[in-house]
Amino acid sequence: MSDFLNFSLEGKVALVTGASYGIGYAIASAYAKSGAKIVFCDIKQEFVDKGLASYEADGIDAKGYVCDVTNEEMVQDMVKKIEAEVGVIDILVNNAGIIKRIPMCDMTADEFRQVIDVDLNAPFIVAKAVIPSMIKKGHGKIINICSMMSELGRETVSAYAAAKGGLKMLTRNICAEYGADNIQCNGIGPGYIATPQTAPLREKQADGSRHPFDQFICGRTPAGRWLQAEELTGPAVFLASDASNAVNGHILYVDGGILAYIGKQP
Ligand code: NAP
Ligand code: GCO
């Protein structure tokens, strides 16, 4: 089969940041099932250990590293260790992220900076750490996990939207700067996914009714439901494989149709 129809990740080394659970875990697991060697990081050893146990339970041989992706020295050390212990990173997924849902005028500058640090500065730091070896190897794939908030705003998520909007443009700029080195940098923009990050938006109310936001999002999604992290894995494998070598600087929205829909009529 020609490379251009090749969805396999056989023999590739994939680093997924923040992949002990949630979206990162789903993507890393799919990469393993597509033949890749998985390495992931999390900020605490206890979460790395929990992630390793989950991967093992799923029959996946993963390697975990403790690394705060906002810390450039830790990231550089981690990438050197991965290159020595596993191999040069062929695929990077900048997945680690946080959100703070606070009305903008109630948010401190430090809280704003914390979100920008993890959701925008860290993808820059990790990409900068892996690109030199990708250039030497002659290829690389970088996938940044963007968001509906790369395109839309909503109350209480100013820092997150600013970060994810910036991540969309960082994605395009890495494409522009390193496309000639056969590095493809694309984004995935998930819709609303049922993970720990969105659990507060789905919590049952005291009277047992659905959370208002839960009802709102189902009305804004043509699919009429929250999406599952596993529904991102096909697009993620595509963007990590040779099948997408001519796709660069693109944000692939996997949102159940949210961005195409004005919302269910009342
Ligand atoms: P999640 O459940 O909160 O998981 C986030 C992961 O990132 C956790 O493993 C967390 O580790 C890790 N992390 C956070 N800060 C870190 C740091 N400084 N260094 C290393 N790891 C760090 O989130 P998720 O829902 O899976 O989302 C993953 C990505 O998708 C995020 O970028 C998010 O913005 C994006 N996204 C999510 C949705 C959604 O609806 N869920 C939709 C669009 C985009 P700890 O647990 O140790 O903090
Ligand atoms: C929120 C949600 C969203 C999702 C995701 C949507 O509070 O609106 O957390 O931001 O996490 O980014 O694509």
Please check the confidence at residue 52 and state whether its pLDDT lies above 80. Answer: yes
pLDDT range class, residue 140, cuts 50, 70, 90 = very high
Q: Which residues contact 141 (CB under 8 A, 6 or more apart)?
A: 90, 91, 92, 183, 184, 185, 239, 240, 244
The answer on pLDDT for 1 being more than 60 is: no
pLDDT value of position 2: 61
Using the mean position of ligand 2's atoms as its centre, give its distance from the Cα of residue 197 in Å.
8
Domains within the chain, CATH numbers bracketed = 3-191+228-260 (3.40.50.720), 193-226 (no CATH)
Mean pLDDT of the chain: 97
Q: What strands lie across the sheet with 91-94, from one edge to the other?
A: 62-66, 37-42, 13-17, 91-94, 140-145, 183-190, 251-254
CA distances 52 to 84, 115, 209, 214, Å, are 20, 26, 36, 31
Kindly report the backbone phi and psi dihedral angles of residue 141, in degrees, each rounded to the nearest multiple of 5, phi listed first.
-130, 125
C-beta of 69 in contact with ligand 1 (< 6 A): yes
Q: How confident is the model at residue 5 (pLDDT cuts 50, 70, 90)?
A: confident
Considering only CA atoms, which residue is closest to atom 4 of ligand 1?
Answer: 22
What mean pLDDT is predicted for residues 215-232?
Answer: 96
Structure confidence at residue 50 (pLDDT): 97
Confidence (pLDDT) at 266: 82
Q: Global pTM?
A: 0.98
Residue 91 alpha carbon to ligand 1 centre in Å: 18
**Confidence tier at 230 by pLDDT (50, 70, 90):** very high
Say yes or no to pLDDT of 122 above 70.
yes
Place of tokens 């940044």: 144
What's the pLDDT score for residue 17? 98
